Amino acid sequence: MTKAVMIAGTHSGVGKTTVALGLMALLMRRGMAVQPYKVGPDFIDPSHHTAICGRPSRNLDTYIMGTGAVQDTYARTQCDISLIEGVMGLYDGLDSSDTASSAHVAKTLGVPVVLVVNVHGMSRSAAAVVKGYQTLDPEITIAGLILNRVGSPRHRKLVEDGLKGAGIDIPVIGALPPNRELTLPSRHLGLYMAHEQVWDYGKMADFIEDNVDVDALMDISSTARDPGSPGEIVILQAGVRIGVAMDSAFCFYYRDMFDELQQCGAEVVTFSPMSDPMPDIDGLILGGGYPELFPDRLSASNTRYDIRAAAWDGMPVYAECGGLMYLGSNLEVNGRKYEMAGVLDSESRMVQRFQALGYTEAEVIANNHLSGTGQTVRGHEFHYSITECAHDARFAYRMRRGKGIQEGRDGLMVYNTLASYMHTHPLAVSMQKFVDSCREYSRR
């Protein structure tokens, strides 16, 4: 039986990320092979999972990927234990449904849940909270509780007595006292990524070891359903080189994208548009990230001219969010404009409030090197920028859900370049067409 457990919370900010990271670090310290996962369309938390566990963290998103792809992704990796970090509150999904929620993923995979509950300022009332989570969906197995912000041993006893008095038989396997030293710093798009600071994961492991019954958690994880056998993966011989911008400005990528590029027969070449010359490549991908934090370096680098020339020559280029901003003529940050690559006839500027946040669904209205006309593409968007483009701009997508770039349109198209605010996933729209387009370009 495969060991697996999901760390979920009653709501965002309840402490599940700290618990998940601490557990990963502690289990790794004990010599276990830990496979991390993250529910939802998240690029940041998985960077910490990967840094701790020494293997890529995988996203599990039943809206974007579909349940079948989630099951296949989960079944693919061999490990001692799969540890899944949830998203938001346990039952928070698409609109008022459970689709894409932590609960939906737990049901899809047959994984038991350990629920993190903030009991600050509560005693018996905590039982009402837990009772609601326990009974809302009988298909969910909440197999353990971790109480956060427990003021004292007496406080823990009051909470546990309240749970017992309410007939709740879920064991409390951990009680965490307040600890401001473990607060994770964040900014406009979430936590800082793993590569941006020196993180003391060992301190998180110590905290969990002191306050959580890890043996009980391991017993809970043994109740997970066997994931079954994954579909066969065939890796084609590399016949095309695709450059991927990878640095502090462009760092939002799903690991599954790199895997699929290789499976489609592409050699992936990473480089930094801020500091590296453009490599010898047949196609280019510019992911999301934080170009707004490095506009001076991006503007000063001559690589932007090489990217412009390659795009003008017809090289396939695919960009998302931060990549969209970089490919425009300029990017305005704090009232100052910085020249960017100039591939697109567009301008972007940063603002103080987020402009779009949530899942997207788009109808493809113009054939492009990623998808075909009439196809449906799902993804998500999250940004604090506004992009304005020429009145005759060509778009690839009509948004059924989400905001896009302009008037419900997304996916700017010029030459053989496609740039959108929408982040896609390779299990929602395959990279095969893009790789094929790069192969055609290489043969010119």
Q: Report the pLDDT averaged over residues 176-195.
A: 76
State residue 193's pLDDT score: 75
Tell me: do 175 and 302 sit in the same domain.
no
pLDDT at 100 over 90: yes
* pLDDT above 70 as % of the chain: 95
Domain of 425, CATH number, reads 3.40.50.880
- Judge whether 7 and 85 are in contact, CB under 8 Å: yes
State residue 230's pLDDT score: 62
Tell me: do 332 and 365 sit in the same domain.
yes
Tell me: do 264 and 214 sit in the same domain.
no
Tell me: do 120 and 172 sit in the same domain.
yes
The answer as to whether 93 is a domain residue is yes
Tell me: do 201 and 276 sit in the same domain.
no
Length of the chain equals 444
Tell me which of 259 and 238 has the higher pLDDT. 259
SS (H, E, C) 347-411: EEEECCCCCEEEEEEEEECCCCCCCCCCCEEEEEEEECEEEEECCCCEEEEEEEECCCCECCEEE
Q: Report the pLDDT averaged over residues 92-108.
A: 96
Tell me: do 334 and 245 sit in the same domain.
yes
Which candidate, 5, 28, 26, places its Cα nearest to that of 85? 5
The answer as to whether 235 is a domain residue is no
Tell me: do 259 and 198 sit in the same domain.
no
Confidence label for 437 from pLDDT (cuts 50, 70 and 90): very high
Tokens of 184: 């994770």
pLDDT tens-digit readout, 285-307 = 999 999 999 999 999 999 999 99
Confidence label for 180 from pLDDT (cuts 50, 70 and 90): confident
- Judge whether 83 and 36 are in contact, CB under 8 Å: yes
Tell me: do 204 and 276 sit in the same domain.
no
- Judge whether 227 and 35 are in contact, CB under 8 Å: no
Tell me: do 174 and 101 sit in the same domain.
yes
**Annotated catalytic, 321?**
yes
pLDDT at 197 over 90: no
Tell me: do 216 and 263 sit in the same domain.
no
State residue 44's pLDDT score: 92
| Alpha carbons 254 and 57: distance in angstroms, whole number | 9
pLDDT tens-digit readout, 326-352 = 999 999 999 999 999 999 999 999 999
Domain of 181, CATH number, reads 3.40.50.300
Tell me: do 67 and 175 sit in the same domain.
yes
Q: Report the pLDDT averaged over residues 363-372.
A: 97
pLDDT at 227 over 90: no
pLDDT at 283 over 60: yes
The answer as to whether 285 is a domain residue is yes
State residue 77's pLDDT score: 82
Which candidate, 432, 417, 434, places its Cα nearest to that of 315? 417
The answer as to whether 232 is a domain residue is no
Domain count across the chain: 2
Tokens of 65: 């990927």
Tell me: do 43 and 154 sit in the same domain.
yes
State residue 72's pLDDT score: 94
Q: Which of 251, 264, 321, 389 is catalytic?
A: 321
Domain end call among 169, 191, 221: 221
Domain end call among 221, 253, 270: 221
Residue 341, domain extent:
240-442
